Amino acid sequence: MLRLYFFSGTGNSLWAAREIASRLGDGELISIPGCDASKENISADDTVGIVFPTYAWGPPRMVAEFLTALKIPSGTYTFALATYASSPGASLPMVSGILKKNGAILSAGFGISLPSNYTPFGGAWEQDRQQKSFETASAFFDDLAAAVKSRLEQNGPSFPAIFVPVVKFFNKFSVKEFRKMSSKFSVGEMCNGCGICAKVCLAENIEMQNGKPQWLDKCEQCLACLHWCPKTAIELGRISKGRLRYTNPFVKSSDLGVKQKHGNTADVK
């Protein structure tokens, strides 16, 4: 059976996971933040997939920790898809390294460029560019599903191996810094206390107090709160001011967050 694990702040990776699931057939779509890796019971006959966004040229910290704790029997066909805006950096070799330490093997790596949600580097892509990336994605998902069905083995896109140790260091430093970003978020008067920011937060880092969000100290920097706020009331320091927000148009905010746990791939479509 297919066991497709995903992590997604603004919906690209969930959309990709759903598209893949619909091509590969029956299985389970499993949200990484809502899943206790130690309770997962993977059999060597399963096909395991991991879909995640690239953060600072590597996997998000939560994904790395989840994979460190996940037991994948040797011989299980395992693939990973890194979604990214401009480059997956060393995401796939880093995931491969984590699995290897655990006695498993990353059979195939894939990467797809989808619209950026990294507001510190700019606002949302132009509509045309977003549209083009969704259109080309369809053929990519067809090819990925065919590759998985035929048990293709490949490393996938990455920086050359010589850069991987440096990128690994950069990624580990950056994801630690992300945790400190909680203090940079603020909320303006447009906030109507709907609480969507708290629901989509992948780290359960937001508490509603007196009808307004308060950020705690374990931010993963997925930026879901910033992008999904229906009033554009949330800012990240001054850098997000006036920049267009982005959410994947095929996903709803209610599909995301920690509470979105296991589901048959047919149910979550």
Applying CB under 6 A, the residues found at the interface with ligand FMN are 8-13, 53-57, 83-87, 89, 114, 116-118, 221-223, 248
Q: Which is nearer to ligand FMN, 73 or 249 (by Cβ)?
A: 249
Measured between alpha carbons, how far is 204 from 197 in angstroms, rounded to an integer?
Answer: 10
CA angle, corner 146, sides to 1 and 69, nearest 5?
45
Q: Report in angstroms the alpha-carbon separations of 249 from 99, 148, 194.
A: 32, 26, 20
Nearer to ligand FMN, 132 or 149 (CB): 132
Amino acid in position 249? P
Cα separation, 69 vs 91, whole angstroms: 18
Q: How far is the CB of 119 from ligand FMN (least distance, A)?
A: 8
Q: Which is nearer to ligand FMN, 77 or 84 (CB)?
A: 84
Euclidean distance between the first and final Cα of the chain, in Å? 17
The secondary structure of residue 245, as a DSSP letter, is: P
Minimum distance from CB of 73 to ligand FMN (Å)? 28
The identity of residue 162, as a single letter, is I
Smallest distance from the beta carbon of 68 to ligand FMN, in angstroms?
A: 20
Residue whose CB is less far from ligand FMN, 34 or 75? 34
Neighbours of 95 (CB within 10 A): 23
CB 181 → ligand FMN: shortest distance, Å? 9
For ligand FMN, give the closer residue by CB, 76 or 171. 171
* Beta strands 27-31; 2-6: pairing state: parallel
**Residue partners of 238: CB distance under 8 A and separation at least 6:** none
Minimal distance, residue 149 CB to ligand FMN, in Å = 24
